[in-house]
Structure 1
Amino acid sequence: MKKAFIYSACVLLFSGCGTMDQVSRSIIATHTGAAIGSIAGSIIGDNIGGYRGSYIGSFVGSAAGALIGANVVARSQEKKEREAERMSSPSPYLVIRDIRLQDENWNRLVDANEDCRLIFEIYNEGERTAINITPVLKGLRGTKHLIYSAPIVIDQIKPGVGVLYTVNLSADSEVKTGEANFEISLEEGNGFGTPKESFSIRTQGK
């Protein structure tokens, strides 16, 4: 009989709450959880310690069951709210990954009069296609004698897709040994761009 009640109560907790408002669901879940815990605790306590064990098990199980029942509904509601928020405003989310230098002599430096390439991945972690993406590269310090190609607009990047982007980079004969500092950001057609991200490369003079 007790086992049949536990099964029926579980069905009520996980299916019956679906048509109720949040307050009603919490009340029903708490009461149902308490009932389940009380009966389960009574069965366990009775098996271990007779009547006294049954009473104690019922009391402890009731408290624990009430807490579990309320937590089940709270977690379910939180998940539904997050999903609703995500679905109501899907948007692209662009990130820049793995910025690296590819140079002619493979010494990982931009030497004087050397032609190089900056390569990085633009990945869309969002749930909507990004359009008209423009990588904007800006020299900060130590870039006076570096020349880099103008940005090329990427038509679109679908969700869960990344594209490799290349910037042609070279140094003139006057470049100094040191460090060149850049910042890069992405501009997107609907305004879903990225914050500026800084990085640096080493330069080698004659």
Structure 2
Amino acid sequence: MRRIVIALLGVSLLAGGCGTIQPERTGAIVGGAAIGSNVGGAIGGLVGDSRHGWRGSYRGSAIGSIIGTLAGAAIGGALTAPKSREAEGNPQGYPAERPVEEVYTEPYNTSSALSALYIRNLRFIDESRDHILNGGESSKIIFEIMNEGSETAYNVIPSVTEISGVKQIHISPSILVEQILPGNGVKYTATVSVGKRVKNGTATFRIAVTDTHGQIYDRQEFTLETAR
């Protein structure tokens, strides 16, 4: 009996030795110890009795109670142990997700990859087919960007701009071409709309191939008449 009392005192110290242990965890430890003591004592008594009679039963019950007390307390404490923040936020144990900026990196372009791009088959098509930008008319500028190098060019921007400052001319915004493989190309079409109040004169257009930083790698320019 003295050994049982000592074991229970040890469990109490385990349950109360840390001031941050929650009450429900303390109750689970003590409850587990009590259940373990009863089960251990019963099993120990049966085993002792089968081997050494009533004295063996008494001794086996005492030893079983001590072992059951410690085992029950350990199990109760483990079941109620607080989980870490990482485990609570990631119950399946999968690797934690990283921010997008840490995962994505823009493909690297060498200078030779972009320098190998060139413009070809430049065409201008207007509604009247007279190659004049008439007021209220819509037209198209079409060209191809080819990659004659041995490396893939990434994040290519076809650019069409009016550089002479003529008003009433509106050009569709540029798009991003994710990649152009070696020996391949893309066809690009820009829409040009002319306002009805355009003045008679000329407009100069620049067709260019740029990267995401605006660096130009190939360009062509041409001039068209404007008419009200």
After TM superposition, the score normalised by the length of structure 1 is: 0.51
Q: Choose 119-128 or 175-184, whichever is displaced more.
A: 175-184
Unpaired runs of at least 5, structure 1: 1-88
RMSD after superposition: 2.6
Residue matched to 1:134: 157
The secondary structure found in structure 2 opposite 1:165 is strand
Quick one: which amino acid aligns to residue 177 of structure 1? N
- Of 156, 161, 166, the match for 2:179: 156
The 1:107–1:181 alpha-carbon spacing in structure 2 relative to 1, beyond 3 Å, is same
After TM superposition, the score normalised by the length of structure 2 is: 0.46
- The sequence identity of aligned pairs, in percent, is 35
The secondary structure found in structure 1 opposite 2:146 is strand
Deviation at 1:131, TM superposition (A): 1.2
The 1:141–1:193 alpha-carbon spacing in structure 2 relative to 1, beyond 3 Å, is closer
The 1:105–1:150 alpha-carbon spacing in structure 2 relative to 1, beyond 3 Å, is same
Q: Which of structures 1 and 2 has the bigger CA Rg?
A: 2
Residue matched to 1:91: 113
Quick one: which amino acid aligns to residue 176 of structure 1? K
Deviation at 1:191, TM superposition (A): 9.0
The secondary structure found in structure 1 opposite 2:193 is strand
The secondary structure found in structure 2 opposite 1:141 is coil
Quick one: which amino acid aligns to residue 99 of structure 1? L
The secondary structure found in structure 2 opposite 1:91 is helix
Instruction: Report Cα offsets for 1:41-100 as digits up to 9, x if no partner.
Output: xxxxxxxxxxxxxxxxxxxxxxxxxxxxxxxxxxxxxxxxxxxxxxxx963411111322
Residue matched to 1:184: 207
The 1:151–1:200 alpha-carbon spacing in structure 2 relative to 1, beyond 3 Å, is same
Unpaired runs of at least 5, structure 2: 1-110
Distance 1:132 1:182 in 2: 23
Deviation at 1:197, TM superposition (A): 3.2
The alignment status of 1:167 with 2:190, answered yes or no, reads yes
Quick one: which amino acid aligns to residue 130 of structure 1? A
- Of 129, 138, 144, the match for 1:121: 144
The 1:188–1:176 alpha-carbon spacing in structure 2 relative to 1, beyond 3 Å, is same
